[in-house]
């Protein structure tokens, strides 16, 4: 399957799962609206989709939300099957994505270095 089609399917799955989370249709108490689906990677044969999840609040455990989504994977696949027009709905695997948190930490470190250093690069 062409790579652009896999990307389109991944984006569509990301949008549909994000909508289910935001609308509160997933009834598991571990899943809340602060979870964010950062990306979806679909296998070439559409057998599997790896869904990467991040949590907006710093310090909150994203692991519980990932466990809740994984336990609701069957329901989510059924909802995807109702709303998507593809022959095969991939099996979903949810993973914690710490990239957003790491990005915020990096920005804080850079800001701390510029404040502590006191010297800024000269203007040319």
pLDDT tens profile 2-18: 888 999 999 999 999 99
pTM of the predicted protein model: 0.79
Domain 3-116 has CATH 3.30.930.10: no
Distances (CA, A) of 38 to 10, 15, 57, 82, 106: 11, 10, 14, 23, 18
Spatial distance between the Cα atoms of 110 and 112, rounded to a whole number of angstroms: 5
**Locus of tokens 């850079």:** 110
Q: What is the pLDDT of residue 124?
A: 55
pLDDT of residue 13: 96
| DSSP assignment of 12-62 | HHHHHHHHHHHHT----TT--TTEEEEEEEE-TTSSEEEEEEEESSTTS-H
Say what the pLDDT of residue 100 is.
75
Give the pLDDT score at 122.
Answer: 55
Return the closest-CA partner of residue 18 out of 5, 31, 28. 31
Rounded to whole angstroms, how far apart are CA atoms 20 and 51? Answer: 14
Q: What is the pLDDT of residue 120?
A: 57
- Show the low-confidence residues of the chain (pLDDT under 70): 58-61, 117-124
- Predicted local confidence at residue 123, as pLDDT: 60
Contact (Cβ atoms closer than 8 angstroms) between residue 91 and residue 51: no
């Amino acid at each position: 399957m062409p790579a652009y089609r896999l990307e389109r399917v991944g984006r569509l799955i990301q949008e549909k799962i994000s909508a289910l989370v935001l609308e509160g249709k997933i009834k598991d108490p571990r899943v809340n609206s602060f979870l964010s689906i950062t990306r979806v990677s679909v296998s070439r044969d559409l057998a599997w989709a790896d869904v990467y999840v991040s949590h907006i609040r710093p310090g909150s455990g994203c692991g519980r939300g990932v466990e809740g989504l994984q336990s609701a994977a069957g329901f989510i696949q059924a909802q995807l099957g109702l709303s998507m027009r593809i022959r095969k709905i991939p099996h979903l695997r949810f993973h914690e994505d710490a990239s957003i948190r790491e990005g915020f930490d990096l920005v804080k470190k850079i800001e701390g270095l510029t404040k502590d250093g006191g010297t800024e690069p000269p203007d040319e």
